[in-house]
Chain A
């Protein structure tokens, strides 16, 4: 090493830990690059097998068939479903202070970050290609919300909940003002907040969820409105809403708080289950048992975030899988997930054991299915045998051609096996074949990473992806800037 570069070395890394593409030589900012690739694709792009101009299609909303009554695995009466203890008001504060007074926190519709990115990077004209399902294209009711969710148009669905809640007098600026709650308004709130969680919109989510607390206000119970609901009892807010609010701190980086709230939820669910067991109402008890188990899964997710692996073992082995009424397929998926948790901390032996249990639960003499092959492929990855993993995933692809997760994993294997170009080709082919399905968040991150590694032309290629996202994707659950790594200087 020359003295010259040594001098620069220390300058560069005096305090900073090395980052991903750290270079020690000063590189000039490449501001000019990628400014106008839209009109004149460079030679490297024309050789690529994927071009936005070759796509004539646009987003196609999937067929949505409204089922009259969604099927419930366990049928119970509303009384069983809604059972929840009305909280006793504490002596000091009156009832009124504890009422739930929610309101929407944004005046307008949620902005569409994909449109914004397209306008910034490609210009207004390109936006004409964006023809996705909007809030205006569906009926302004629950059915419309379901249609939008089914099509993956989460932001539009959020906007529709906003319109409907405004009709209920709980719209923009109404937070802190008295509100009347009904099962329908509570469902709208639940749907809205759940979608905000899915969309990574945590600031808005936190602000709008705050008035609900843990749904302990007296006015979210039927008992609060005796004349209106004819003596009906229990919680107006659905159980899923309680669960969502309890696990909310996970997303806000406070898993400890979520753990406390979820534990409480689990205790209550268990008490209700025991209550029904005492009454010899087996179906109702089973219904609440399932709910308690659903809470346990959220607790495991919390523990995963906190890296409390022994706790996961205790819950998995001691509580979730100890119940005999789980179906084989349910058990298999739990064992498989358990194995993957072991893999993450490097316990290959432990993971193999869990996967083996999952495999044995499959019907005897049936051929390995998708789950088995994916488990096996991941084991090969953990053992650093990427060529072998690739072959296993390839087998899995035969069982479900076009499966984005498997294609995604195959591309990763190719890179680690030293086949960068093949990996890029695989991803581009997948997008070519089914852009709507293949342009998912992880595949986009991976492909953008490969583009950055391949050449200095990554920006142009990423913008090409943006063009496709513009046409085919209603929403991404991770911001498009992150998916395409648009901030990277490359």
Chain B
């Protein structure tokens, strides 16, 4: 270095971003058969790597190449960079310190080099002070790596050398969720994860971490433990992958309708992916909010019913009704077989329940006698609140499979609990989710 220059420094500062190395082969693979003129293209002098068998002519190399460009960096990935300070003079330089900061739109983080080393060092001629810094990026947008080297000139003056490196942190994924409220207080969550990077990546882990009020069953593996996705969780750019979860309130929550209504946070999606040669990224969604259970004034549950009955026998099922309104009710229950012309069962019922206070429940059995084979639907059940003279129609109470008298079944499946809401809620709206670094 020319020491006459005004901005010349005794030290040189070099920075290189460490993206993953790339695996390269040995250039175009040209092969020939032994009978061909060249006999073989592989050079003896430079038989690089592992000798290929004659059956292999694949371009998947084993040689690692250092990064040759800055590349892209995505939210949730780790930014790592090599920082090197070099004494380019013939003399020792004293009092050398390096300070590295990462400035984002909202914060400035100090990144430490050589965490165990003392604060200032002496660099002898041609010596370097170098290390790798790492930081998991937590924000999208412009970031600036600020490197500052301080040292003492031979004359004893404090000198400072600064360099700035600017880069953009991009968004790696889009997550969209859909909730469905199903029977028995169950909620189903469909989470669609889209790769919005420029290269393919693999989803290494996609888990729903449930909140305290809920338990989660992942429905993305087969009974043998394999993933439902055919080969691997690889996602090409712009492609999406859909995950399904079944969420249930814990028993102590489910039994109390008030707590259940307030328990809106079901959990967070935790996503880990790996891209180029294992580059890892991790993101979490914010707390996902389930759809409100839309109880109107009453809730009807079928708590005990058989799945299969023989034709000609009585099918009895146990119903439970809850007063979810703020006022007392006196309910008049009607199961009418004459509403539709071809009712597949006989056995109309009419009765009145005792007065139900808000939040109170009442149980009652209903019986019908199926007259047709196949799946029959018990419907409609008419409930009239005689105090307020309001009428509720429950269109699908329960379904039962009616079989012939000589039918033998291996085992009886009992549906221990079935819940029907008076209006089926269409919950198929999709929602975009915010992502954050864990």
Chain A residues within 8 Å of B, Cβ to Cβ: 1, 5, 9, 12-13, 17-25, 28, 32-33, 43-44, 47, 62, 67, 70-73, 81, 142, 145-146, 149-152, 184, 187-188, 190-191, 194-195, 197-198, 200, 238-240, 243-244, 250-251, 290, 293-294, 297-298, 300-301, 304-305, 307, 309-310, 313, 326-327, 329-330, 333-334, 337-338, 340-350, 370-371, 374, 378, 381-384, 403-405, 408-409, 412, 415-418, 420-421, 436-437, 440-442, 445-446, 449-450, 452-457, 477-478
Query: Is residue B163 contacting chain A, with contact meaning CB distance below 8 A?
Result: yes
- Inter-chain contact B132/A309, CB cutoff 8 Å: no
Are B164 and A454 interface neighbours, CB within 8 A? Answer: no
Knowing A22-B166, A200-B27, A445-B68 touch, does A333 contact B277 (C-beta < 8 A)?
A: no
Count of A-B contacts judged by CB separation below 8 Å: 311
| Cβ contacts under 8 Å, B60 to chain A | 304, 337-338, 340-341, 344
With a CB–CB cut-off of 8 A, which chain A residues contact B202? 345-347, 350
Q: Are A12 and B166 in contact (CB under 8 A)?
A: yes
Q: How far is the CB of A212 from chain B (nearest CB, A)?
A: 16
Which residues in chain B, 39-57, are within 8 Å of chain A measured between CB atoms?
A: 39-41, 43-46, 48-50, 52-57
Q: Are B82 and A145 in contact (CB under 8 A)?
A: no
Tell me if A21 and B27 are in contact (CB < 8 A): no
6 more contacts with CB within 8 A, not counting A70-B34, A330-B53, A381-B21, are: A150-B43, A198-B28, A346-B278, A374-B62, A381-B64, A452-B14
Q: Tell whether, in the assembled complex, residue B164 and residue A405 are in contact, meaning their CB atoms are under 8 Å apart.
A: no
Q: Is the CB of B43 within 8 A of A149?
A: yes
- Provide a sorted-by-A list of 7 A–B residue pairs whose CB atoms are within 8 angstroms: A28-B5, A145-B38, A191-B38, A309-B200, A346-B201, A420-B82, A453-B14
CB of B59 closer than 8 Å to a CB of A: yes
Once the chains bind, are A240 and B36 in contact (CB under 8 Å)? yes
Residues of chain B contacted by A453 (CB below 8 angstroms): 14, 16, 82, 84
| Nearest chain A CB to B91 CB, angstrom units | 10
Contact (Cβ within 8 A) A343 B27: no
Residues of B within 8 A of A (CB): 1-2, 5, 7, 12, 14-18, 21, 23-24, 26-41, 43-46, 48-50, 52-70, 82, 84, 86, 88, 90, 103, 125-126, 128, 130-132, 144, 146, 162-168, 199-202, 204, 231-234, 236, 273-280
Contacts of A381 in B (CB 8 A): 21, 64, 277-278
Given the contacts A194-B41, A197-B30, A420-B82, A301 and B163 also touching, CB distance less than 8 Å: no
Which residues of chain B have C-beta atoms less than 8 A from A313's C-beta? Answer: 231
**Contact, CB under 8 Å: B278 / A149:** no
Q: Using known A-B contacts A437-B46, A442-B24, determine if residue A346 contacts B274 with beta carbons closer than 8 Å.
A: yes
A171 to chain B, nearest CB (A): 18
Determine if A240 and B273 form an interchain contact, defined as CB atoms under 8 angstroms apart. no
For residue B279, which residues in chain A have a CB less than 8 angstroms away from its CB?
346
Q: Is there an interface contact between A418 and B7, defined as CB atoms closer than 8 Å?
A: no
Instruction: Name the one of A28, A73, A238, A440 contacting B54, with C-beta atoms under 8 angstroms.
Output: A73
On whether the beta carbons of A340 and B278 are closer than 8 Å, the reply is no
- Could you say which residues of chain A place their CB within 8 Å of the CB of B165? 18, 22-24
Residues A405 and B21 in contact, CB atoms below 8 Å apart: no
Contact residues in A for B164 (Cβ distance below 8 Å): 1, 5, 9, 23-25
CB neighbours (8 Å) of B234 from chain A are 309-310, 345, 347
In the complex, what residue of chain B is closest to A243 when comparing beta carbons? B31
Q: Report B-chain residues with C-beta under 8 Å of the C-beta of A348.
A: 204, 274, 278
Q: How many Å lie between the Cα of A22 and that of B168 in the bound state? A: 13
